[in-house]
Every structure is written in structure tokens, then in C-alpha cells.
Amino acid sequence: MRCVTFFMPELLAKMDKYPGGVCLLVISVDIILEIENLVVRRGDRTIVNAPHLAVRRGDLHTLIGLNGAGKSTIAYAVMGIIKPDSGRIIFEGRDITDLGITERARLGITLAWQEPARFEGITVGEYLSISAKNSVIDGGDDGGTGGVEKRVYEAMKMVALDPEKYLDRELGEGLSGGERKRIELAAVYLMRPKLAILDEPDSGIDMMSIYEVIGLIKTINAGGTTILLITHRQELAEIADRATLICAGSPVLTGTPVRVGEQFEEMCWRCSDRDFRLKKPGEPKPEECEEYEKYGV
């Protein structure tokens, strides 16, 4: 059994001390984000209770679950928008639980809101240029390609907005929710964060087809950004490498989207609009509850 020497020749010397030899197979999974024992309470309710959730670097990882399951709350805790009552958030091996939003953004985490923000007094063009200049993966370097403006135009085209019509408009009340949502996706594309949390990127995007959203998400992911995608749309969930089902504030199952989709209705009861309960093994259906529908749509 000398196979260790093929992988780790530097251990060869030690083999003499262990004459029997060791055959080691080291499988290392690169985890970019890890959540440990995360608890968020509001009043007397525990809205998130996540003992463990891990996202692998480079993955497109989706969180699925009905409205009210706790998905956005998990996203806000990772971005630092809310402070958890307990637990830890680890990013690239570093405990970021006590860091603020700006520090987390500097480390390469970005959140695209379910309801995108309005910015009065700043134009779409200015907002996207700032995003391009702050790109994390390439440090804002345009590689001498004459860059920022060209990239902004390209990003606008990717979200199917005409740059000539939009770049000088203010990013405020004058734009619809769907338009702001597309501009936010364009900003994520330009920022090239290490981790992008996309909270229901398809919601409110009426004119842009789901397939355009999928294309853009895949492009962002292919550019080296790990994506945590929150959705309850099956078409979106199925593009992911891995999926985690969130039920009643807890991750209950992680696996391929197909497997998680198949088991979705097996895992949770839907007991009212805001009451989702984990099924206990062998438990008969509580009177006030219904079966969860696949993907919750």
C-alpha cells in the first residue's frame, strides 16, 4: 500500500516510520459559506433555526421553500442586514458574524433584494459604473479594454434594457419594480462578487422571460461567482447544482434539485399561510394542515 506516495510525495519519508503504509484518499470540498446554529427570533416566534447549511465554492445553490419559510431572513443574516440571536456565519473560513454590511460587501458578498432598493439622486448609469468599478473578482480592473462604459452597456443588454433609454434616468420612483430588479441583476453581473445572494430574481420581472433570467444567472456563475439563489420557481430551482429545502425556518434537506424537488412534499406540512411544520415520521396529517405542493408554487 504505497499509494499515498503518488499523491503526497512529501510523506514518503514518513512511510518508513509507518512500515505498513497508509493509503489516504483526501477529498476536500471547498466551502465558501457556512451557517452554524443560526437562530433568528421575532417576538415570541423563532423564524429561523438553521443548525447547519454549507454552500460550496463555485456552486449555484438554491434555497427553496414557500413564502414565509424564512429564506429572505437567512439571506439578510448572511449579508449582515439583520443580526441573528445566536449562531455563526463563516465566509471563506472566517467568522463574519460580527461584521457589518459594508465589511461583508468588501469581502465579496452581495445581495440582490427581493424588493430592489430605490436610490434618488443617482442615475442608472452612475449606479452601474460604481458597480463595475467595485468588481471584486477582478478588482475593478478592466484589463485595459476601455472598459467600464463598455461593460455597463453589455450588462444593460443582458437584462434586456436599452442603454440609450435608461442610463440617464434616476434609479428611483420613476422606474418600475421590474426595471429596478433588472438593473440590480445587471449590477451583480458587473460587481462580480465572490458570493451573490439573489432573492427571488424572477419576481416582478414581467417582461423579461424566465429564460433570460436563467441565462444571466448562469453567466454570472460562469464568471466565478458562487450563487445562493432563493426561489420558489421550479424552472429556476432546477438549474442549480445543489438545492436546500427550507421549511419552518430550517434547512431540512440538501441535495440535487431533482431529489429535493421529489421529496419536497414529503417533508413539510402547510398549516396556514404562515405556519409550516416539519412532518414527524409516521405522523398523520394534522387536521388544520395540507400537503405541501411541489416547490410550493
CB of residue 240 to ligand ADP, shortest distance in Å: 17
CB of residue 245 to ligand ADP, shortest distance in Å: 11
Nearer to ligand ADP, 124 or 228 (CB): 228
Residue 6, burial from CB neighbour count under 10 angstroms (0-12, 13-18, 19+): exposed
The entry of ligand ADP, Mg ion, none that residue 221 binds, CB within 5 to 8 Å by partner kind: none
The entry of Mg ion, ligand ADP, none that residue 68 binds, CB within 5 to 8 Å by partner kind: ligand ADP
CB of residue 117 to ligand ADP, shortest distance in Å: 16
Q: Which of 210, 205, 209, 207 is nearest to 184 (CA)?
A: 205
Nearer to ligand ADP, 59 or 199 (CB): 199
Spatial contact of 34 and 27, defined as CB atoms under 8 Å apart: no
How far is the C-alpha of 266 from the C-alpha of 195, rounded, in Å? 31
- CA–CA distance from 160 to each of 116, 163, 208, 290 (Å)? 17, 9, 7, 40
Residues contributing to the site for ligand ADP (CB under 6 A):
42, 47, 65, 67-73, 274
Nearer to ligand ADP, 67 or 209 (CB): 67
Q: Positive or negative, the Cα torsion across 187, 192, 197, 200?
A: positive
The entry of Mg ion, ligand ADP, none that residue 2 binds, CB within 5 to 8 Å by partner kind: none
Nearer to Mg ion, 129 or 203 (CB): 203
Residues 6+ apart with CB under 8 A from 135: 190, 191, 192
CB of residue 201 to Mg ion, shortest distance in Å: 12
Nearer to ligand ADP, 73 or 225 (CB): 73
All three cell numbers of 214:
436563467
CB of residue 199 to ligand ADP, shortest distance in Å: 7
Residues 6+ apart with CB under 8 A from 266: 279
Residues contributing to the site for Mg ion (CB under 5 A):
72, 114
The entry of ligand ADP, Mg ion, none that residue 73 binds, CB within 5 to 8 Å by partner kind: ligand ADP
How far is the C-alpha of 75 from the C-alpha of 8, rounded, in Å? 40
